[in-house]
């Protein structure tokens, strides 16, 4: 292990431990998704094998306190998701309400995924949470075409939330939360003419969308592990075309682009690299070139080197990408779930 | 009263019209993780928002408060949701609201909530809103011709509200501006396959093949028209193999001796599907093989993989795998 990687590791740990205790005010604009910031911080530290056990109880208590609980079973059929709030900002206590019996429920599918991912990272026993409320209520968020909206209040519907739904069901080990066949059909309709996946049918192939599609199919059991080495022809997606699209995303600078003819960005080393990993094709990419690209970004990974503050999103996905590269000192990932683990899926 | 004006912002706690409201702070519990260091202005505005949201107060001052919060943070979906409730209750003019969204969206063109709110508005306004929405997305695309949100909204508008007539021309213009704009190529595919006025992929195929090949010849190193060309034969491999234009385009680029990576890779795909190459193809490939000094092989497809492995070292492992998994039928 060379000195530069080692130095980076300490800087990343220091950065993430700081974020654990204090997120700077520019992140106010992401406050509704504070659980996602927590996921980046906690998962990042776990990948660095530096998540101090002293945080465990604090994390558990805080995450669990964000869960939305129905008053009774009947409420589970009111069309709302009873999952996890993204932050305290959208969460209200019943004792705050005056005349009304109910309080606004701001729980969100993506926050629910982040909450469960965090609990899983710290080895919290998920069978002790109220998973029934999550599974019953999330069905209401699935649309007739198989896609998911993340919240009953109304929001965009795209592949990101199909992925969240699949990951939630997988982690809770219960598929009653969604209609898998319909979700699969929706995913298939997102495969573009060039083999990648757009976030919505008809949209341009995109690294993030492609990850959500392939990871969700894998979690739902519609793609086998190492699909490439199996002789069975994929009846779901066009694998050769997808593979070709993914391979073409690595640029001369060694990094990965999210779409054809765009600049490389750290995060796509995870999104697109992750797809290759799921397909059993990770060894096709040029690992040395990618590693050099990732490490060339300085302290914390930034979208472009001229940014001053390390940005949590890119810092995290840079670490995740380095983990896929088996960088020494980093914990391996369960790519499909987007969390570090020592168990194979 | 927002900080946008350049005036000193008066805290809500000192505004007489808010005197009767008790702000509702977040209760983060005893030992939270990842606490955000809110600025005072932000914290205060959100505490007042939470109060009116919980009380479900659908008033003008609530509406103005949502504008103030959105100016500080356009990413909170609860705020936007409440704004919609207030707009409906107060029966605010939708066109007035659209002007407001135009203004906010221009400075936040990559924010999901704003685009969703635009869609909500456009749905309410109906098909007569189509032109304005297409105009607006065009404006955003002149700033960033690849803005994914703008393209997503544009595709939704076309399918939900109409306005297809000029779309193919628009794609053409964008491609002329930047032939490497993959979003524009994708939109072109979207139009020819989904426009209710164009008769579908098969009907447009011949003219689109010419269009793609023209772009390929001008810039053979451009991935977009190659993918587009291949996409024109989606689910129709027989046509893909038998259409001379495709193989001739490959051959022409290969003969030029430069920027031939995509041509060679498409040629490999053709071979894998059973294409029977002419002697000229074999000669040209042999010439390339010599010029890059890659290893020879009796099997043409193997030679092609060897060349690709040599000239595209970034993907050397992939080309080696392609070579090892060539179908037995292949030349």
Count Cβ neighbours within 10 Å for each residue of B2-21 and write b for 16 or more, e otherwise.
Answer: eeeeeeeeeebeeeeebeeb
Q: How confident is the model at residue A342 (pLDDT cuts 50, 70, 90)?
A: low
Of A31, A58, A192, the CB nearest to B33: A58
pLDDT in tens, A245-262: 999 999 999 999 999 999
Q: Which residue has the higher pLDDT, A12 or B138?
A: B138
CA distances from A217 to A232, A236, A272, A275, A279 (A): 16, 9, 15, 11, 11
* Contact check, Cβ <8 Å, B148/A204: yes
Q: Tell me, what's the pLDDT at A254? A: 96
Average pLDDT value for residue range A234-244: 86
Residue B197: CB atoms within 10 A of its CB come to 9
Closest-CA residue of A relative to B117 is A155
- What is the overall mean pLDDT for chain A? 90
Residues of chain B with pLDDT under 50: 1-3
Tell me what pLDDT residue B3 has.
Answer: 46
User: Computed over its alpha carbons, how large is the radius of gyration of chain B?
Assistant: 28
**A201 confidence band (pLDDT: 50, 70, 90):** very high
Q: What is the mean pLDDT of residues A83-101?
A: 83
The string of DSSP letters for B311-322 reads H-GGGHHHHHHH
Nearest to B29 among A27, A29, A65 (CB): A65
Mean pLDDT of A10-34: 92
Residues near A132 by Cβ (< 8 Å), separated by ≥ 6? Answer: none
3-state helix, strand, coil in chain B (%, to 5): 70, 0, 30
Structure tokens at A56: 């465990």
Closest CA of chain A from B184, distance in Å: 9
Q: How big, in percent rounded to 5, are the helix, strand and coil portions of chain A?
A: 55, 5, 40
What pLDDT score was predicted for residue A301? 54
Q: Which of A140, A154, A161 is nearest to B119 (CA)?
A: A154
Report pLDDT for B115: 95
**Contact, B118 vs B78, CB < 8 A?**
no
d(CA A243, CA A195): 8
- Which range, of A71-85, A302-316, B24-38, B308-322, averages the lowest pLDDT? A302-316
Q: Which residues of A touch B33 (CB under 8 A)?
A: 20-21, 38, 41-42, 55, 58-59, 62
Q: What is the pLDDT of residue A2?
A: 46
CA distances to A150, B159, B176, B301 from B167, rounded to whole Å, are 31, 12, 14, 40
Mean pLDDT, range A210-225, rounded to an integer: 95
Which residue in chain B is spatially nearest to A39 when comparing CA positions? Answer: B34
Is residue B110 annotated as a catalytic residue, yes or no? yes
Looking at residue A80, its pLDDT comes to 95
How far apart are the CA of B318 and the nearest CA of chain A, in angstroms? Answer: 5
Q: Which of B42, B46, B151 sits opposite A204 (nearest CB)?
A: B151
Nearest Cα residue to B114 out of B160, B145, B70: B70
Confidence of residue A234 (pLDDT cuts 50, 70, 90): low
- The one-character DSSP state at A274 is H
Is the pLDDT at A7 greater than 50? The verdict is no
Given pLDDT bands bounded at 50, 70 and 90, which one contains residue A114?
A: very high
**CB atoms A31 and B224 under 8 Å:** no
Q: Do A203 and B39 touch (CB under 8 A)?
A: no
A86, A89, A97, A197: best mutation site toward chain B, by most B Cβ within 10 Å? A89
How far apart CA A144 and CA A1 sit, in angstroms, is 52
Percentage of chain A beyond pLDDT 90 is: 79
pLDDT surpassing 70 at residue A334: yes
Q: Is the pLDDT of residue A299 over 50?
A: no
Query: With pLDDT > 70 as the criterion, what percentage of chain A qualifies?
Result: 90
Contacts of A54 in chain B (CB under 8 A): none
d(CA B99, CA B83): 15
Interface contact A153-B78, CB threshold 8 A? yes
Q: Which helix (H) or strand (E) holds A333?
A: strand A333-334
pLDDT at B59: 97
Say which residue, A95 or A89, is predicted with more confidence: A89
Nearest chain B residue to A245 by CA distance is: B227
The whole-angstrom separation of Cα A115 and Cα A64 is 8
Residue A226, pLDDT score: 77
């Amino acid at each position: 292990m060379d000195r530069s990687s080692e130095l980076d590791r300490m800087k990343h740990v220091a950065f993430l431990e700081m974020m654990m205790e204090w997120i700077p005010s520019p992140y106010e604009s992401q406050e509704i998704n504070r659980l996602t910031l927590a996921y980046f911080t906690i998962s990042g530290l776990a990948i660095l094998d530096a998540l101090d056990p002293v945080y465990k109880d604090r994390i558990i208590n805080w995450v669990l306190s964000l869960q939305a609980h129905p008053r009774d079973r009947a409420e589970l059929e009111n069309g709302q998701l009873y999952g996890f709030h993204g932050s305290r900002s959208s969460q209200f206590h019943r004792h705050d309400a005056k005349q009304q019996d109910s309080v606004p429920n701001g729980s969100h599918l993506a926050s629910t995924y982040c909450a469960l991912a965090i609990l899983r990272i710290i080895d919290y026993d998920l069978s002790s949470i109220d998973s029934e409320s999550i599974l019953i209520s999330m069905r209401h968020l699935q649309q007739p075409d198989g896609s998911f909206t993340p919240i009953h209040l109304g929001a965009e519907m795209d592949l990101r939330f199909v992925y969240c739904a699949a990951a939630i069901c997988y982690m809770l080990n219960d598929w009653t939360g969604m209609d898998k066949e319909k979700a699969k059909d929706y995913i298939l309709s997102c495969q573009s003419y060039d083999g990648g996946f757009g976030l919505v049918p008809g949209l341009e192939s995109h690294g993030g969308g492609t990850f959500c599609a392939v990871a969700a199919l894998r979690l739902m059991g519609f793609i086998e592990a190492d699909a490439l080495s199996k002789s069975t022809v994929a009846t779901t997606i066009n694998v050769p075309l997808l593979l070709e699209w993914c391979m073409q995303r690595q640029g001369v600078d060694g990094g990965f682009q999210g779409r054809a003819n765009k600049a490389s960005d750290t995060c796509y080393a995870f999104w697109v690299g992750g797809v290759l990993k799921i397909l059993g094709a990770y060894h096709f990419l040029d690992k040395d070139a990618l590693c050099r690209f990732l490490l060339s970004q300085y302290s914390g990974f930034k979208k472009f080197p001229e940014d001053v503050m390390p940005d949590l999103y890119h810092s995290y996905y840079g670490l995740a990408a380095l983990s896929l590269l088996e960088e020494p000192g980093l914990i391996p990932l369960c790519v499909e779930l987007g969390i570090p683990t020592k168990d194979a899926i | 009263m927002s900080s946008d004006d350049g005036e000193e912002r008066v805290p809500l706690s000192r505004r007489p019209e808010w005197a009767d409201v008790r702000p509702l702070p977040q209760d983060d519990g005893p030992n939270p993780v990842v606490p955000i260091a809110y600025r005072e202005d932000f914290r205060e505005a959100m505490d007042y928002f939470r109060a009116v949201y919980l009380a479900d107060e659908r008033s003008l001052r609530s509406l103005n408060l949502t504008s103030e919060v959105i100016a500080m943070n356009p990413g909170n979906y609860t705020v936007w949701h409440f704004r919609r409730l207030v707009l409906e209750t107060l029966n605010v003019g939708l066109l007035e609201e659209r002007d407001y969204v135009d203004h906010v969206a221009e400075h936040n063109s990559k924010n999901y909530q704003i685009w969703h709110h635009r869609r909500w508005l456009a749905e309410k306004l109906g098909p007569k809103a189509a032109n304005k929405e297409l105009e607006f997305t065009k404006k955003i695309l002149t700033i960033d011709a690849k803005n994914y949100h703008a393209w997503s909204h544009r595709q939704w508008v076309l399918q939900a509200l109409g306005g297809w007539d000029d779309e193919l021309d628009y794609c053409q213009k964008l491609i002329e501006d930047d032939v490497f704009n993959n979003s524009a190529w994708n939109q072109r595919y979207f139009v020819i396959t989904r426009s209710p006025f164009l008769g579908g992929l098969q009907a447009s195929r011949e003219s689109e093949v010419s269009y793609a090949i023209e772009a390929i010849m001008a810039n053979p190193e451009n991935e977009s028209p190659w993918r587009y060309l291949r996409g024109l034969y989606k689910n129709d491999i027989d046509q893909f193999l038998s259409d001379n234009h495709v193989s001739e385009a490959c051959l022409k680029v290969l003969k030029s001796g430069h920027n031939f990576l995509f041509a060679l890779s498409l040629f490999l795909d053709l071979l894998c599907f059973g294409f029977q190459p002419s002697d000229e193809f074999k000669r040209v490939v042999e010439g390339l093989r010599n010029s890059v000094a890659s290893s020879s092989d009796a099997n043409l497809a193997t030679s092609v993989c060897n060349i690709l492995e040599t000239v595209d070292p970034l993907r050397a492992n992939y080309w080696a795998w392609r070579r090892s998994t060539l179908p037995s039928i292949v030349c």
